[in-house]
Amino acid sequence: MSEDQNTQAVVDEANTQSTTVTEVNDARNNGDDLDSLLKEFDTETKPAAGSKPEPKPGADDLQAATAEVFQARDEIRNARYRQDMDKTVADIRGDLDPEFADNDFVEAWLDAQARKDQRLAQAWVNRNANPKQFDKVKAELGRALKAKFSKLPDRQATDDRAAVTAAVRGASNRAPENKAPDFSKLSDNDFQKEKDKLFGT
């Protein structure tokens, strides 16, 4: 029992000390003491007496929320997949002409390679865990794609060759317009007329 009395005495002393400290703080804070500030906080966080507490979510609400979370997760995964795949396809295609090897074609080629060799699919799955290794795999795939499709004709060279061929054929197939006159036998007036026809003066 003596312990209870000692404890009580200490608490009483602490209360009188806190009252003194509070009174000193009241004078400094213009009347706002810690208890009144905390009481305001309590009233702000407690629901009003007449208000109903929010109902706890039922099984249907929980299932709907879970479905929304899974849908959001799937959308994020799909967006990341598309972003990573677009970057991978661009890296593998490199400077190949997009007219012959566009992104859809390269992605289909890459998918076919992954079906042939499951290690490519595993490298894709671990692309974030080991990015340096995946970069090496992409570089090797890019070399393989370029080797396979570098034999395609260069479009600019083909167009140039076709233009030259058409010009040569057009020049050789064209019949001479008229036989040129014998300029040595023409008079000065006739020579001047022929010159005007040819050079348009």
pLDDT tens figures, 29-43: 555 666 676 676 666
Q: What is the spatial distance between Cα 82 and Cα 22, in angstroms, rounded to a whole number?
A: 63
Tell me what percent of the chain is helix, strand and coil, each rounded to the nearest 5.
75, 0, 25
Kindly state the helix (H) or strand (E) to which residue 11 belongs, with its residue range.
helix 2-28
Residue 76, pLDDT score: 93
Q: What is the pTM of this model?
A: 0.44
pLDDT tens figures, 48-96: 555 555 656 566 788 888 999 999 999 999 999 899 999 988 888 888 7
- As a three-state string, the secondary structure of 134-148 is HHHHHHHHHHHHHHH
Residue 25 scores a pLDDT above 80: no
pLDDT tens figures, 145-199: 888 877 766 666 677 777 777 777 766 555 556 677 787 888 889 888 888 888 8
Cβ partners under 8 Å of residue 181, min gap 6 = 190, 194
DSSP 183: G
pLDDT tens figures, 128-141: 888 888 888 888 88
